Chain A
Amino acid sequence: MKYIDEYRDKNLVLKILQEIKNISKTKVSFMEVCGGHTMAIQKFGIPSLLPPTIELLSGPGCPVCVSSRKYIDKAIAYSRLEEVIITTYGDLIRVPGSSSNLDKEKAKGGDIKIVYSSLDALQIARENPNKKVIFLGIGFETTSPGSALAVLKAYEENLNNFFLFSSHKLMPPAMSAIIDEKVKINGYIAPGHVSTITGTGIYEDIPKKFGLSCVVSGFEPVDLLQSIYMLVRQVEEKSPKVEIQYKRAVKPEGNLKAQKLLNEIFETSDEWWRGLGILKNSGLKLREKYKNHDAELNIHVEVEATREDKACICGEILKGLKKPKDCKLFAKACTPIDPVGACMVSHEGSCAAYYRYNRD
């Protein structure tokens, strides 16, 4: 498959690994903040290939993991309303709420539909004019344009039964917060597809203000290893900067059309992140003009009080301060079939990735 197979070439991988081993002298830690990167790193067994000088940490890159339990509880409460159809990406369906999850609600008869695209949710709204269709908008800058487009089309078509329940978040505030929390890293493997949309300007502060390295990486083994090589080189040469490894998909200015759309539909809001608390201007909510499509403003529902499991340390794992194995619940009370914390549910949450690929 073009643009995939060439970047999984074993010979090229071995070549890059050799280059990394040649130049890597200092002990370094790099954090990735993208669920797709977490998965790819584990799936290809990359940690088993790197020299002992390089440690990879997994940060808050999974939008499901960093979302609050309250969001799920509210989605569940919405799903119990007779007139509501919940439309969602598959990622959310098993995320634990305080006492249930969307999968269980579906089993009880809740009208919950898994969609591949926000535009499919829009179509469901068109086909069910007597129902209120709520789309669960999660994801970072890669995915929020999809929600923006759906809202814009709903607005233009006067489709008043389509609503967005947004938990969209922005990457840069989280990346700064990690550094503020004094998590010890030498640099970031920056998210590939977020950068496709945003461009690289959003990362400028990371080397300038914090002196950390930053490389925007693709998702195949060659991409990841090449990015690690570039990060190591920056550290060894003591020249932190923002570089793009994923040049075939990322331009420095990003996707201007998508950025314009995001700016038209959304404004920033303060959002709560698991592990990081409230970060200013780290979330997206609908602008005044589009408020008629905001689920929270238009559909009233009672939500149960949020309960979190005290032993769950997802917060610290998301910051890279602890590893999944450090959690008392890991692989015992908290497993993929019976998750306690979001890090275990989400397919590419640290704990799930660890459990599947690397239990010892």
Chain B
Amino acid sequence: MKTDKILLGHGSGGQLSNELINKVFIKHFSNKTLDILSDACILKINQSHIAFTSDSFVVDPIFFLGGNIGKLAICGTVNDIAVSGAKPLYLSTAFIIEEGFSISKLEEIVKTMAEEAKKAGIKIVTGDTKVVNKGKCDKIFINTTGIGSILEKRKHIGSGKNIKPGDKIIINGSIGDHGIAVMSARNDLKISSPVISDCACLHKLIEKSFEISENIKFMRDATRGGLASILAEIVENKQFGIEIEEENVPVKETVRGMCELLGFDPFYVANEGKFVMIVEANDAEAIVNMLRTQEFGSEAAIIGEVVDKHHGKTVINTSIGGQRILDMLSAEQLPRIC
């Protein structure tokens, strides 16, 4: 690593983040469970299997179209558990709050969290509160842990070790909504946009998918780093490749507008209510048809497949019939002139 200081890019969910994780955290914490680096780890306690995850939420601004930091905290944690194939059950929430923060704003955030948890059918069972001096944290940070129960036969999903060429790749809707909503809310670019964050709990969608097929090979929620980073992570160092049909990837026109204006690629923009699912080819259509009848799945689509070509790479067939490689996000996308 060529820098001795933490950069914002280290938290972006792309290559820099991965480097930090490997060269600092894994280096010292390494163990069999951790090294899999799935969103949620699977633990065996006595005879039961449990999915366990941890996450922190530091988004700025804390309120945006479609949600707030609290909603992100609940949905993000529930989704990490759900995409491992587990049923989310309990959450902990720890708050680090800046001195001077408005209590009514705090209550608004907490109220959202309670509503979201109730809708999701999960319980917040423990927590913590710390207050730091003004200037020592940006308004409010939330840390969570989540626990879920998982059937033994679904343990493999987090690792993706059963992925094979021929498997289809599904996404439950349009990409880039959350990142653009947050960017618009920041307002220092003075561009206003009607894009709403897609922040949502996805476990019910996933449970319904299991009702259709037990041949789900892998799932991950596409957060920072965007869809492209997930796909690049899936194929890295593997003996298969991925091919994506650009035309099949849903992108809302309003998201496209902002991306064109700022020079962003929607494939690299953050999401908070989208999962990527890799499933046995024969079951893909049935799952997509079901998703399309559900809230948070109306724009679901099969976007590509796993192939026995260009191992370790994700290739996009562009909308005009050309081809390009989709890499992991190398650093935070910034508005550019060129």
Contact = CB atoms under 8 A, between A and B. Distances in A.
User: Do A and B share a direct contact in the complex (Cβ within 8 angstroms)?
Assistant: yes
Contacts of A107: 5-8
A89 interface: yes
Interface residues of A, number: 48
A10 B256 contact: no
Contacts of A49: 320-322
Contacts of A4: 260
Interface in A97-124: 103-104, 107-108, 114, 116, 120
A307 interface: no
A139 B337 contact: yes
Given A114-B334, A116-B335, A337-B15, A358 B325 contact: yes
B191 A116 contact: yes
B336 A43 contact: no
A355 B327 contact: yes
A301 interface: no
A218 interface: no
B2 interface: yes
Given A1-B257, A104-B3, A221 B338 contact: no
Contact of B16 (A42, A90, A337, A346): A337
Contacts of A45: 316, 318, 320-324
A91 B189 CA distance: 15
Contacts of A42: 324
B101 to A, nearest CB: 24
Interface in B282-319: 313, 316, 318-319
A356 B320 CA distance: 18
Contact of B335 (A13, A94, A114, A221): A114
B185 to A, nearest CB: 15
A339 B262 CA distance: 22
A62 B337 CA distance: 10
B165 interface: no
B126 to A, nearest CB: 35
A10 B331 contact: no
B327 A91 contact: no
Interface string B249-285: 0000100110010110100000000000000000000
B320 A103 contact: no
A226 to B, nearest CB: 13
B130 interface: no
B330 interface: yes
A29 interface: no
Contact of B337 (A46, A143, A358): A143
B320 A8 contact: yes
A335 interface: yes
A347 B263 contact: yes
Contacts of B7: 103-104, 107
B9 interface: yes
A13 B321 contact: yes
Interface in A71-113: 89-91, 93-94, 103-104, 107-108
A64 interface: yes
Given A43-B324, A114-B335, A347-B338, A336 B318 contact: no
A149 to B, nearest CB: 15
Contacts of A48: 322-323
A306 B319 CA distance: 44
A14 B5 CA distance: 50
25 contacts: A4-B260, A10-B319, A10-B320, A35-B338, A36-B338, A45-B324, A46-B320, A91-B336, A103-B8, A104-B5, A107-B5, A107-B6, A116-B190, A116-B191, A335-B330, A336-B15, A337-B9, A337-B331, A346-B338, A347-B263, A357-B324, A357-B325, A358-B324, A358-B325, A359-B325
Chain A to chain B: the 9 pairs with minimum beta-carbon distance, closest first = A45-B322, A90-B334, A336-B330, A357-B324, A35-B338, A13-B320, A45-B323, A221-B320, A45-B318
Given A10-B319, A46-B322, A103-B8, 19 more contacts: A1-B260, A36-B338, A43-B324, A46-B320, A48-B322, A48-B323, A62-B338, A64-B338, A90-B334, A91-B338, A337-B16, A337-B330, A338-B2, A347-B338, A355-B327, A356-B325, A357-B324, A358-B324, A359-B313
